[in-house]
Structures are given as structure tokens and as C-alpha cells.
Structure 1
Amino acid sequence: MAFKRYRLVPGKSFFYSLFHGSDWVGLSNFRFLMINPQMMRVVRNTLLYNLVFLILGIIVPVTLAIILSYIHSGFVRSVTQICMLLPHFMSWVIVSYFVYAFLSADRGIINNVLEKLGRPSSNFYLKPEIWPFVLVIVHIWKTSGYSMLIYYANICGIDSDLYDCAAIDGASVGQVIRYVILPQLRNMVVVLLLLNLGHILSTDFGLFYQVTRNAGSLLATTETIDVFVYKALIEQTNYGFSAAASLIQNGIGCILLILASRIVAFIDPEGGII
């Protein structure tokens, strides 16, 4: 489909329409993506967001998992796990309404607080400069719980003899974390990092389209490849654009995944996943 101008033939199947009813256009769909003047901005936004997500997607869940492992009350630990995991099961539509409840210009919680403090209200949906921080916070809030449980399960599987040896040697909490817990989490961190690296050119469509409410004033800092391609698909009804973009995204992601895994395996023979 990435190399065709897809047209649906009435009364025929998808495959018939693809192979018999659609014209071959070669690299035209890819050319549209490459020569579009907005692509540099869109690719920049996609890469920067994903790099931040990669870094914080390791630091925050690992930190939370370590904190959770030091909570001795079973009830508190269970409640904490539920509260952290609950956002993972929410749709981006629901999350977008939560964000709107905070940032709405007329009924938003933040503006109500500002008015009570004697400060002027603000329309946050007209301020693109704050949205990189908003999107990063929302993404980490929604996704950290799931990763935290993975790391916490790994911590629970650490041999208790290692903790006993550390206690006999008089190790502090910081030393236990540094010399016992983090080394045991290294392989899991590498695996999740490599898997996420395969999506370096892809973004969560719901985060960048639903949460921002597709506000045109925010495109400079919030438009990513997926949102850009979706808009092109809606405006021009050319499914080949979307297929070409997906082929580029997944192709580059696959190559990066394999290269990164080989590099890790070269440094640590047991660290690669491919």
C-alpha cells in the first residue's frame, strides 16, 4: 500500500482493491513525506519527546519500584500498586478530560486557584511553550505504573542471600541499592530500553492528539509524525501516505533495535536480546 494510490473498489475485498484497483505510484508517497516543509519540525518533535520518554521511562519506574520495595506494610504497598497501575488502564480520552479539568481557561482548577490568589487566569491551550512539560508529565503518570511493576517483580526475585551479605558487611540503604538492586535490574532495564528504542519514530497518537485537543496553536511543539500523517490522511484521503510513514517508522525502528542489541551484546554477551 505504501507504493500505491489505494482506492476501494465497490463490492470487492481489500486485497482485490489493493492489487487490482489501485494505481502503482512508486515512491510518490515517500516523496510527499520527505519534501513537506513541516517534516523537519515534526521529526524533531517526535525524536525529542521519545528521547525524554526513554530516559524518564527508566529513571522514574526504577525509582518507584525501589521505594515500593522498602514499604513494609502489605496494605500500603498494595494500595500504592493499585494507584500507580490504574492510569495504565485509562483511555487517552479520559486522560484528556482530566488534563482539561486542570487547564481549562474558564473552569480549570489551575485558573481557579490563580484567581483566588489574585493572579490573572490564562488560556493554557494557547501557550505551546508549556506543553512539552505537560505532555511529559502526563505520559510518565500514565505509563510509569506498568513499568514499575515489572521492575518491582524483578526486585522481589533477587536472592535474599545478597541482602544478608550486604547487612553483614554493614551496607547502608544507598549501598544496597547501588551494589545489589541496580546490578540485578540491569538486564531488565536493557531489555525494556531496546524494545522502546524500536519505537523511536512512533508516538502515542492519543497523547498528542486527544490530550492537546488538536489545538492548532500548539502544533509547533506538539505535532508528531503520527498526528501529521493522520491529518494528511483526513485531508487527502490517501492511505498510501499513512502506509509509507509506518513503513519508514517501523523500518528505522527495527534497524535501530538490531544495531543497539548487537552493541549491547558486544559489550555484555548476556545483555542483548537479538
Structure 2
Amino acid sequence: MAYGQSTKWRKLLKFWPLYLMMLPTIVLLLINNYLPIAGLIIAFKNVNYVDGVFGSPWNGLNNFKFLFSTRDAWIITRNTLLYNAVFIASNIIVALIFALMLNELRSRWLPKFYQASMFFPFFLSMVVVSYLVFAFLSKGNGFVNNNLLPLFGMEPISWYQEPKYWPFILPLINIWKNAGYYTVFFVASMVTISHEYYEAAVIDGASKWQQAIRITLPQLMPLVTVLTLLQIGRIFYADFGLFYQVPLNSGAIYSTTNVIDTYVYRALLTLGDFGMSSAAAFYQSVVGFVLVFLSNYIVRKLDRENALF
């Protein structure tokens, strides 16, 4: 055995406990993330139960035509992109505002209480959230129709029959559920900012607002960039529970609540075409992959240090 190979084996034997600790994670990664990649062939096959996945005949790109040949293709693509763009921007902005406010609290316990309160909705199932929303928006017994609208002399609104309100309702629900989650990231990042910056700013006569704009926000920009890039990678994916459970699958508001995920799910229930649903998932993944690299390339051109890779 050559000397170089012998040295490699000695290193492997020396650190074998570390490699043994890595083994469960590697196995889990292979099973959950890499083995399912073989299932991508379903997107190009006319799957039937008799021949199985690998024995079914090839279908070319016919499964992909389903997404682009229907009259709803533009609507679901538009809804998915615009909603996710609003979600990305609103979650980041609202979380930054909350984090800046929490950073100014001098009490020892209040910041922890507020963080826990804002983080709690993130753990709620969308089924639970849908019932909470229904308690507010129900036409007969809803809090909004029975308590708020009469104060302004307005008639009850059939919220689940009026599509024009949902482009505002869904972003508000998303912010309520997820803003606290992102706030935790920003608060944790603020802890690492050196107090010397703020002390120097106070000596120079900087106000709290100037400290936030000139010190805190620039220090948080790398984290903002990373979170934004990660979310851009899933801009063609929608929160299925938000768009399916919360609107209660009401057909009257499909024009503003129907997205790629819910459309494919309903089509799968109706047609039972696994090839079509797999093609949609493959299409979403490829577009997300390209968008992440494109966005990261633009960030690298503007500021190399803030790029994800």
C-alpha cells in the first residue's frame, strides 16, 4: 500500500467516532433527499398501476402541457408569484420593524414575552388558523360582521363569496403567522452587534433613529439577503394550507386564491393523474433553482460579501 493511502486510512481510523456520529444524518439525507430524486421520471411518464412507475410508458412533455394549456395557467402563475413576492417583502419589513422595537426595550422580561407572543402563531396548524379566520369572517356569527362593520354603518359582507378582499386578507394572515418567526432571527443577529458602535454614535450625538438606520440595518443586511434568497427559491411554491384551508376551498374566490399547488391538488383529486402533479412539482423546483442562482449572481455583482455563495 502506498504511503499516501496509508496516511488516509490512519486519519479515517483516528476520527472514526466522528464519522460514526455523522452516519445517521448521512443515511437520513440519502433517504429523504436523494433517493426520491429517482421519482422525477414520473413527470415524463404516463403512470399506471399495472406497469408501475418504472414500467409505465414514457409520455414526453405531455404532463407539462397541462399547466400551460388550460385557461387558468395565467391566473395561477400570477397569483403564486405576486402573493409570494408580497409575502417575502412584508415578512422581512414587518420583522425588521418588530426587531428594532424589541431592541429598544430596556426591561429584562418584556422582550422575551413579546417574542414568545409573536412566535406562537408560527406553531399553529393552518386548520386551526382557518377556524380562527372563520370566527372573524363568518357572515352569520363572525366578529367583523357583527361587531366592527356596524360601527361604521356598513352591511355584513359575504367574505367567502367576494374575491376582491382576499388579496388583502391572505397577506395579513401570513404576516400574523410568520413575522414573529423572522423577528427571532433579526433579534438574535442584533445581539452580535458590538455596543462600541452605539457608544460612538451617542458621543457623536446620533439619535435612536439614526443609530437604527446607520448601524443596525447595515449590520442586518447580510441576514436580510440570505433570508430573501432562500425565500426566492420557493417563490413558485405556495403555502398550501393558507390558500386551501383558510379560504375554505370556496369556488367563488378561486380567481384570487387559486395558486399552482391548490390547482394541481384539485386536478389530482379529479383526474388522479400523478404524472401531471409530478410535472408541476418538477417545474416549480427547476424555476426556484434558477431564480436562486440568478438572484445570488445579481447580489454578488452588487455586493460580493452579501452573496449566499
Normalization by structure 2: what TM-score?
0.84
**Pairwise CA distance, 1:51:** 1.1
RMSD: 1.3
The equivalent of 2:219 in structure 1 is 184
The equivalent of 1:237 in structure 2 is 272
Query: Which one of 14, 25, 45 corresponds to residue 4 of structure 1?
Result: 45
Runs of 4+, deviation exceeding 3 Å:
114-119
Query: Which one of 86, 90, 113 corresponds to residue 147 of structure 2?
Result: 113
Partner of 2:43: helix, strand, or coil?
A: coil
Q: Aligned partners of 2:229, 2:150: CA distance in 1, in Å?
A: 47
1:188-241 deviation line (CA, Å, top 9, x unaligned): 000000000111111100000000000000101110010111111111000111
1:142-201 deviation line (CA, Å, top 9, x unaligned): 011110000110011101111111111110011000110000000000000000011111
Contact 1:114 1:121 in 2 (8 A): no
The equivalent of 1:169 in structure 2 is 204
Which amino acid in structure 1 is aligned with residue 100 of structure 2? I
Matched, 1:273 2:280: no
Extract unaligned runs of 5+ from structure 2. 1-41
Partner of 1:174: helix, strand, or coil?
A: helix
Matched, 1:39 2:73: yes
The equivalent of 2:39 in structure 1 is none
Q: Aligned partners of 2:262, 2:219: CA distance in 1, in Å?
A: 38
How many residues align structurally?
Answer: 267
1:107-146 deviation line (CA, Å, top 9, x unaligned): 1011111575454322111111001100000001101111
Q: Aligned partners of 1:219, 1:18: CA distance in 2, in Å?
A: 33
The percent of aligned pairs where both chains have the same amino acid is: 41
**Pairwise CA distance, 1:7:** 2.4
Extract unaligned runs of 5+ from structure 1. 10-15
Partner of 2:76: helix, strand, or coil?
A: helix
The equivalent of 1:83 in structure 2 is 117
Matched, 1:206 2:251: no
Contact 1:50 1:203 in 2 (8 A): yes
The equivalent of 2:166 in structure 1 is 131
Contact 1:30 1:241 in 2 (8 A): yes
Q: Greater helix percent: which structure? A: 2
The equivalent of 1:224 in structure 2 is 259
The equivalent of 1:60 in structure 2 is 94
**Pairwise CA distance, 1:72:** 1.2
Which amino acid in structure 1 is aligned with residue 274 of structure 2? Y
Matched, 1:18 2:53: yes
Q: Aligned partners of 1:114, 1:169: CA distance in 2, in Å?
A: 48
Tell me whether 241-250 or 205-214 shows the greater mean CA deviation. Answer: 241-250
The equivalent of 2:11 in structure 1 is none
Matched, 1:252 2:252: no
Q: Aligned partners of 2:58, 2:198: CA distance in 1, in Å?
A: 64
Q: Aligned partners of 1:175, 1:147: CA distance in 2, in Å?
A: 23
Q: Aligned partners of 2:183, 2:78: CA distance in 1, in Å?
A: 28
**Pairwise CA distance, 1:6:** 2.0
Matched, 1:151 2:189: no
